[in-house]
Amino acid sequence: MPTRAPAIEVAGLEKSYKDLKVLKGVDLTVDRGSVFALLGSNGAGKTTIVRILATLLKPDAGTATVNEFDVVSQAAHVRESISLTGQFAAVDEILSGRENLVMIAKLRRVPDPGDVADDLLKRFDLADAGGRRVGTYSGGMRRRLDIAMSLIGDPPVIFLDEPTTGLDPEARLEVWEEIRKLAGGGTTVLLTTQYLDEAEKLADRIAILHQGTIIVTGTLAELRQLLPPAQAELVERQPTLEEIFLAIVGKEKR
């Protein structure tokens, strides 16, 4: 990259569905190579922002650029720069996992689609299931395949819209690990989530979207400073139910 301009820049973004104003002037900046978490409850407008950035929806007002391309006037360039993993696994149930990957590789015109597919199957621990119809996959496998499909062609910016919603704790950890690897490789990740711990564990910066505007944005440390300093209290630390579950199931990964 010749420049270090932000990977995503959004200013004054507004969007309404009929009378319902979903976005009321959203501003945000995502640095290149960072993981940015957009936090908000259901219906806060997270998906609307992602859909506008992914050129699936046109904003009513405001501007948004991805990889320095305008999402409205340079939509084709934006689509060259991104990959979207939506809320519902965007996989073809009737094709096999490998066929899904080959299909996307051909559409992105990468050389050797078959090799690309096999590499990704191995990397996402799907090599054994690669020949099976996706309809037979578990939720976690589908999600991993979904993310694997998004990586084909190495787009510089990846949108993950609630990537772990509906997954069991093990599958969640697997997805988290992949997101960390992505960020390690220099990809910019915009992540939406309603889980606070997910943002805490993965994101370099966090923005909280509430009632159509970003009410606060910063690193986790900066957000912590918004509250009075923590007081030291002696509390016996009980294991969380998640830790117990993972310990019993035997897949503790931390």
Partner 1 sequence: MTAHVLNDTGVMLDRSLKHVTRSLDTIITVTIMPIAFLLLFRYVFGGAIQTGTDNYTNYLMPGVLLIAIASGISYTGFRLFNDMQGGIFERFNSMPIARSSVLWGHVLTSLVSNAISVLVIIGVGLIIGFRTSAGVLAWLAVTGILVIFTLALTWLAIVAGLSASTPDGASAFSYPLIFLPFISSAFVPTETMPGPVRAFAENQPVTSIVNSIRALWAEQPVGHEIWIALAWCVGILIIAYLFAMAAYRRKIA
Window 142-181: contact mask with partner 1 (x via CB under 8 A): ----x--x--------------------------------
Question: Counting contacts by CB under 8 A, is residue 249 touching partner 1?
Answer: no
Name the minimum Å distance from CB 134 to partner 1. Answer: 10
Binding test (CB under 8 A) with partner 1, winner from 21, 108, 132, 180: 108
Q: Select from 76-84, 188-196, 219-227, 230-238 the region that touches partner 1 (CB under 8 A).
A: 76-84
Q: Measured between alpha carbons, how far is 53 from 36 in angstroms, rounded to an integer? A: 14
Which range in 94-102, 117-125, 206-214, 218-226 contacts partner 1 by CB under 8 A? 94-102
Q: How many residues bind partner 1 (CB under 8 A)?
A: 32
Among 24, 33, 90, 176, binds partner 1 (CB under 8 A): 90
The nearer residue to partner 1, 95 or 220, going by C-beta atoms, is: 95
Instruction: Tell me how far, at minimum, the Cβ of 205 lies from partner 1, in Å.
Output: 23
Count Cβ atoms below 10 Å from residue 135 Cβ, excluding itself: 12
Instruction: Judge whether 208 and 214 are in contact, CB under 8 Å.
Output: yes
79 near partner 1, judged by CB under 8 A: yes
Q: For residue 95, state whether it binds partner 1 (rule: CB under 8 A).
A: yes
Between 79 and 123, whose beta carbon lies closer to partner 1?
79
Minimum CB separation from partner 1 for residue 7, in Å?
16
Closest CB to partner 1 among residues 48, 217: 48
- DSSP secondary structure string for all residues of the chain: ------SEEEEEEEEEETTEEEEEEEEEEE-TT-EEEEE--TTSSHHHHHHHHTTSS--SEEEEEETTEETTTTHHHHHHHEEEE-SS----SSSBHHHHHHHHHHHTT-S-HHHHHHHHHHHTT-TTTTTSBGGG--HHHHHHHHHHHHHTT--SEEEEESTTTT--HHHHHHHHHHHHHHHHTT-EEEEEES-HHHHHHH-SEEEEEETTEEEEEE-HHHHHTTSPPPPP-----PPPHHHHHHHHHT----
As a whole number of Å, the CA-based R_g of the chain is 19
- By CB under 8 A, residue 220 contacts partner 1: no
Among 35, 38, 89, 179, binds partner 1 (CB under 8 A): 89
The footprint of partner 1 (CB under 8 A) covers 51, 54-58, 76, 79-80, 82-84, 86-95, 99, 103-104, 106-109, 133, 146, 149
